[in-house]
Homo-oligomer: A and B are copies of this chain.
Amino acid sequence: MTLKLHNFFRSSTSTRLRAALNLKGLDYEYIPYVLRKGETRTPEYLARNPQGLVPTLEREDGTVMTQSLAIIEWLDETHPEPPLLPQGADGRARVRALAYMMACEIHPLNNLRVLFRLGDQFGADEAAQKEWFTHWVTLTFDALETALAASPETGRFCHGDTPGLADICLYAQVWNNRRFDIATETWPTIARIYDALHRLPAFENAAPPNQPDAS
């Protein structure tokens, strides 16, 4: 199966999906888009992804998939090894909740189109955008740090000693935070898990600077 990954090196949701594909050992063709040039707003791209967002995963049979977390759940269902969610329902709920803290409470508020909108509607300059971005990261990373540090289920990674869905979101978010120089050391458990993840080739190879379109 040759998968085509329509994505952008710096996109946090693209980083998530690259890490998941790497963990599953799946090869893919890397198709880069420059968001600032509107390359995901063309009629061709919108026909694949009506939201005009990255990533989009295109399967060999032409099936087109959108929304990084939906694609990662699909990868886990169709390519079960290694699993990205634990076996038990309670563990799965914990990992999904940790993932959604980042995927629903940080990333949506801080992606490029939101920062542009703050500029357009409120005249937010770079400093104001940084304040906004940092506010939402801090609010949720404080809670995430508490949740991770307090739980005996946290191991080398977010849940035990194998990387999964929550780690994928954490790794991508820490990379995203660098856009505004947010120091991960503020959150020691998050920093420790990020460091452990970055030692795994599946994650390091998914990192923004290691992509063909990195600039």
Of residues 137 through 158 on chain A, the ones whose CB sits less than 8 Å from some CB of chain B are: 139-140, 142-144, 146-147, 150
Residues of B near A146 (CB, < 8 A) are 50
Which listed residue, B99, B121, B135, touches A128 by the CB 8 Å rule?
B121
Residues of B near A200 (CB, < 8 A) are none
Q: Considering the chains assembled together, what is the distance between the CA atoms of A10 and B93 in angstroms?
A: 24
Q: Considering the chains assembled together, what is the distance between the CA atoms of A65 and B66 in angstroms?
A: 27
Interface flags, A59-98, vs B, CB<8A=1, else 0: 0000101110111011001100000000001101110110
Which listed residue, B78, B89, B97, B105, touches A108 by the CB 8 Å rule?
B105
Task: Say yes or no for A115: interface residue by CB 8 A criterion.
Answer: no
Give how many A residues have a beta carbon under 8 Å from the other chain's beta carbons.
49
Of residues 95 through 127 on chain A, the ones whose CB sits less than 8 Å from some CB of chain B are: 96-97, 99-101, 103-105, 107-109, 114, 117-118, 121-122, 124
Q: Considering the chains assembled together, what is the distance between the CA atoms of A96 and B135 in angstroms?
A: 28
Q: Considering the chains assembled together, what is the distance between the CA atoms of A121 and B128 in angstroms?
A: 8
Q: Considering the chains assembled together, what is the distance between the CA atoms of A53 and B143 in angstroms?
A: 11
Q: Considering the chains assembled together, what is the distance between the CA atoms of A90 and B75 in angstroms?
A: 10
Contacting pair A50 B108 (CB below 8 A)? no
Contacting pair A78 B89 (CB below 8 A)? yes
Contacting pair A105 B143 (CB below 8 A)? no
5 contacts between A and B (CB under 8 A): A50-B142, A70-B93, A71-B93, A74-B92, A77-B92
